[in-house]
Chain A
Amino acid sequence: MIKIERINRAEALRYMGYNKDIDLTNIEGLLDSCEKELLSVIKPRYCCRIFDIEIKDSVELKDCRLRLTGKDITEHLKDCNKAIIFAATLSADADRLINRYKVKDMTSALILDCMASAAIEQYCDMAEKEIGNDRNMTWRFSPGYGDLPIGLQREFISSINAEKLIGLTVTDSNILIPRKSVTAVIGLSDREIPKGRRGCAICSMAESCQYRKRGEHCGL
């Protein structure tokens, strides 16, 4: 069982738009109590499945209907012979907590929302370590990033039975519910994979990104 002990405060603050000149004195107590409450309600879960892959125009997964289309994912997996289809969620408890605060306390709602975003990424990192077991892996590539269609969310979920295994669903507009959830594909290779990093060049958000405007990076 992976457990998040502390939420990555620096990440959460960055999501809130923090810069180092800001004095946190009047909000530190609230940050602490939000973190404690969030950690006490979430029940994070993940599920995944490893498929052999064959790369043609798109990436084909053996014994699976899912086809990963687009030049970016093909490039991403070019050195890999297997791919992990991965999904994780913080659980609907996070949504419920945030929704409750939205009614009377937007400050806490915003803080919780950003902390939950940081927490799911942290959880994914931990899960990835558990699955990877020192194998050569690429970073997580999610539908909607680059030219991998966000419309694949449904097939992602059904190909690894994520609805039944971790309670993850997707709306008609391809929004994952529970909200604080991630789906991703991770490449596996027998050889060492050059350490890449998610960049802004192929990101569909690059033009409107708040972090880029501030000269920062979203950190993913």
Chain B
Amino acid sequence: MDFNTLLKKDYVILDGAMGTMLQAQGLEAGGIPELLSITEPEKIINIHKSYINAGSDIVYANTFGANRYKLKDSGYCVGDVIKASVSCAKKACRGTNTLTALDIGPIGQLLEPTGSLRFEEAYDIFKEIILAGGDADVIVLETMTDLYEVKAGVLAAKENSHKPIIVTMTFEENMRTFTGCAISSMAMTLEGLGADAIGVNCSLGPKELYPIIEEMSRWTNLPIVIKPNAGLPDPVTNKYNVLPAEFAQYIAKLNKFGIRLVGGCCGTDPDYIRETVRVLQSLKPIIAEKEIPSAICSPANTVIVDMPRIIGERINPTGKKLFKEALRNRNIDYILGQAIEQVQGGAEILDVNVGLPEIDEMEMMVTAVKSIQGVVDVPLQIDTTIPEVLEAALRVYNGKPIVNSVNGEEESLNTVLPLVKKYGAAVVGLTLDKDGIPPKAEKRIEIAEKIMNRALEAGIPKRDIYIDCLTLTASAEQAAVMETLKAVEYVKNNLGLHTVLGVSNISFGLPNRGLINSTFLTMALTRGLDLPIINPNIEAMTGAVRAYRLLANHDVNSAEFIDFYGNAAPVQTQSAHTDHTLEYAIEKGLKGEARAITSALLETKTPMEVINDVIIPALDKAGNEFEKGRIFLPQLILSASVAQEAFEILKAEISKSNNSIDKGKIVIATVRGDVHDIGKNIVKVLLENYGYTVIDLGKDVEYETVVNAVRENNCRLVGLSALMTTTLGAMENTIKLIRENGLDCKVMVGGAVLTPEYAESIGADYYSKDAKRSVDIAKEVLG
């Protein structure tokens, strides 16, 4: 018997709870149940047998928590526990048709960005389990709440075995997992990655799962798995409230949603399985191919391409001096700022391009994708011409992204499409090939058709193929504009594919670009453009899309439009007409006025004069007020953030003359093992406002990373932060390594658990009791 043969049955019966059975037999709370496979194998084998006798077609081996992290202090290694557990299940299955599943639960640590476990390490932990469980017939990932962790698990399973993969996640009554993952996102991501069956286990009873299964059935044609709890637990006694017969009745009600694999989770025992088998005998499964919506997602946010959706174009260094500088300095916060600003502007998807010849694009792309997903939840479009960079980004992306792009050339089709298929992405096909961009629509349509057919052959569903008919510059190729639109219309209506266009190119070299852009956008929308790539920070562009959605009857009852514009104050252009000085704005925290005042100041002062004569004295004043207890920390940072606004204007001005503001470089980091970075970030804001260039290494930073950054940047000052007594050791080790490497730099340390005496004892040069003090130290060391 194998899994695919098993799927020919009407229903595949799974088992019920293992933990519940073990607790009934006296397993103590907090004990490691997987160890019983070694110490009391008969107990485990008997539980498996009781489920097999009740009718289970697949039993889950006792391997749920058998991972490197959870077994750490147990005295046993992962391989031994898994082999023993799988062997127990195999022994119980002997002489029957029942299959053994390698059961994999959550690792027990949250992955980045919320937690500190790296995606790559999670992959490694799963790989170890999967290799050890080679004797099992099926791989199960269950009780998962983090889509990112699941992705690491599925990739590890796919790349280290050929076994079928069943994935179930745990949803709460709000239709989300604890980490906020939506059902639609789970379904499309896992179907894309090649799971064989997906569904839900734990947390709720079969009655409460009804809306969850209903929603899941809309998003997948895969067999749906359910393993509900025996109802809800009593908060005091922990007893579950649904009995076997009732459990089975509720399961029957879920049949219409296409459930195919059925078992039980917490609180269930063989009686529940027996009743379920009995009730399912009189039913037939519903197997129907449904039309799945064309969509992409992050874990928390699914974007359905059923109306024009805005792709933000700003994360791209082309023609942007400050962006290039940010990439060279690894200033991730700059990129994150661009991401947040675009989402606030109305972007529903963000294009991410970090290609610059002199940097390591792969490393930067991986960092950018992870970091952006940590602060915004819109799906991303991965934009690179290098296949290795593309694959690295597709691996670490959490959800289902868009790949930008493939084109009609053989090499491109052969390298990009298999990656799109493997990672379950959507893909943008550019209508060009080795001969360049065809001038005429007909030829572009031909290329679009070729891309479509090749993508279909590669196993990519039609709904995931988006075609870019390519915008040419009107000033250079005026006649081509209408050809592009003609192609868009044909691709949309005759090929039945969604369309993408980069809009802003159209106006290159012309005056009043905004007018050309918004007019072309509107023209393209009426011809069938679904995914305009635009600058969402420009109101005329996002506004055109919003208005189009209203007029094209997508925005039902004009709700979105009215919500956005109905109560909006009249658009205020930033005016320099204010009576306030920059000093006053900084002192009072008037963020909105800083830019305008600064621009006005630049008419009479140089940027360096503004910094030295205005900003720094104002900040010094705020710092003194803070020290005297007349303002408190939030107000000090507020003043600093006003100065930061002013700095944005000054930086732009200075970069025009190819100079930069630099009073010296300072490396700062929260030490290894520690994830508290509020204090460190506050220090960063203040230091930057005094004109220092801060190289922020982030949190949980390895000792060597600090040393390397100091050496590469020739830094004379390092700031280290730690907030836990348990991580002070890491601070000491970091300092030690800096000294051992003979680096000529001073070290300042800060954090709530530190004292001046302790700082001295671990070899720090300065103890910074607060953010204000760090500035004084910087002045002393760097001037």
Q: A interface vs B, CB < 8 Å?
A: 16-19, 21-22, 26-27, 30, 43, 49-51, 61, 63-66, 91-93, 95-96, 98-100, 102-107, 109-111, 113, 144, 150, 155, 158-161, 163-164, 166-167, 169-175, 177-179, 204-205, 207-208, 210
Contact = CB atoms under 8 A, between A and B. Distances in A.
Contacts of B375: 99-100, 103
Contact of B629 (A19, A158, A160): A19
A22 B630 contact: yes
A18 B726 CA distance: 28
Contacts of A179: 675
Nearest to A64: B29
Contact of A26 (B26, B143, B588): B588
Contacts of A27: 589, 634-635, 638
B152 to A, nearest CB: 15
Contacts of B174: 43
A174 B109 contact: no
A158 B74 CA distance: 14
B633 A64 contact: no
Contact of A65 (B28, B117, B145, B677): B28
Contacts of B685: 106
B114 A21 contact: no
B31 A103 contact: no
B677 A104 contact: no
Interface in B590-634: 629-634
A14 to B, nearest CB: 10
Given A208-B752, A208-B758, 20 more contacts: A16-B632, A16-B633, A51-B29, A64-B28, A64-B30, A66-B29, A91-B178, A92-B180, A100-B340, A100-B375, A102-B681, A106-B641, A106-B681, A110-B678, A171-B109, A171-B673, A173-B673, A175-B724, A177-B109, A208-B753
Contacts of B576: none
A111 B634 contact: yes
Q: Which 3 A-B pairs have the closest CB atoms?
A: A167-B178, A159-B30, A173-B673
B757 to A, nearest CB: 9
Contacts of A169: 108-110, 115
B754 A96 contact: no
A36 B182 CA distance: 24
A160 to B, nearest CB: 7
Contacts, number: 158
Contact of B336 (A91, A103, A106): A103
Contacts of A30: 634, 638
A86 B589 CA distance: 42
A171 B28 contact: no
A171 B116 contact: yes
Contacts of A100: 340, 375-376
Given A26-B589, A159-B29, A164-B202, A110 B109 contact: no
Given A173-B727, A177-B114, A205-B753, A19 B108 contact: no
B137 to A, nearest CB: 26
A104 B337 contact: yes
A63 B26 CA distance: 8
A204 to B, nearest CB: 6
B336 A26 contact: no
Contacts of B633: 16-17, 110
B675 A16 contact: no
B704 interface: no
Contacts of B178: 91-92, 166-167
B637 A171 contact: no
Given A16-B632, A173-B726, A205-B752, A155 B30 contact: yes
Contacts of B589: 26-27, 107
A169 B84 CA distance: 27
23 contacts: A19-B629, A21-B630, A22-B629, A27-B635, A27-B638, A49-B29, A63-B26, A93-B180, A104-B340, A106-B681, A158-B30, A159-B30, A161-B29, A167-B179, A169-B109, A169-B115, A171-B673, A175-B674, A175-B675, A177-B110, A205-B752, A205-B753, A210-B752
B526 interface: no
B199 interface: no
Contacts of A159: 29-30
A22 B636 CA distance: 12
Given A106-B682, A163-B106, A17 B632 contact: yes
A208 B755 contact: yes
Contacts of B754: 208
Main secondary structure of the interface of B (DSSP, over half): loop
A171 B121 CA distance: 14
B363 interface: no
Contacts of B438: none
Report, as a range, how many residues of chain B touch the other chain: 35 or more
Nearest to B754: A208
B30 A66 contact: yes
Contact of A171 (B26, B115, B682): B115
Contacts of B637: 106-107, 110
B510 to A, nearest CB: 33
Contacts of B678: 98, 102, 106, 109-110, 113
Please indicate which of the listed interface residues A51, A107, A166 has the most CB atoms of chain B within 10 Å of its own CB. A107
B539 interface: no
Contacts of B681: 102, 106, 109
Contacts of B635: 22, 26-27
A177 B481 CA distance: 53
B631 to A, nearest CB: 6
Interface string B677-692: 1100110010000000
A175 to B, nearest CB: 6
A99 to B, nearest CB: 6
B368 to A, nearest CB: 13
A204 B115 CA distance: 26
Contacts of A110: 633-634, 637, 678, 682
B333 interface: yes
A18 B337 CA distance: 29
A207 B637 CA distance: 27
Contacts of B340: 100, 103-104
B374 interface: yes
A218 B250 CA distance: 51
B113 interface: yes
Given A173-B724, A175-B674, A92 B179 contact: yes
A207 B629 contact: no
B725 interface: yes
A21 B629 contact: yes
Contacts of A49: 29, 238
Nearest to B30: A159
Contacts of A107: 589, 634, 637-638, 641
Residue among A16, A65, A92 with most chain B CB within 10 A: A92
A208 B750 CA distance: 11
Interface in B59-87: none
A61 to B, nearest CB: 8
Interface string B736-754: 0000000000000000111
A207 B638 contact: no
Nearest to B672: A173
Nearest to A102: B681
| Most central of B31, B178, B238 by chain A CB within 10 Å | B178
Contacts of A21: 629-630
Contacts of B341: 104
A109 B633 CA distance: 12
Interface in B661-705: 673-678, 681-682, 685
Nearest to A96: B114
Interface string B330-343: 00010011001100
B546 to A, nearest CB: 24
Interface in B169-205: 170, 174, 178-180, 202
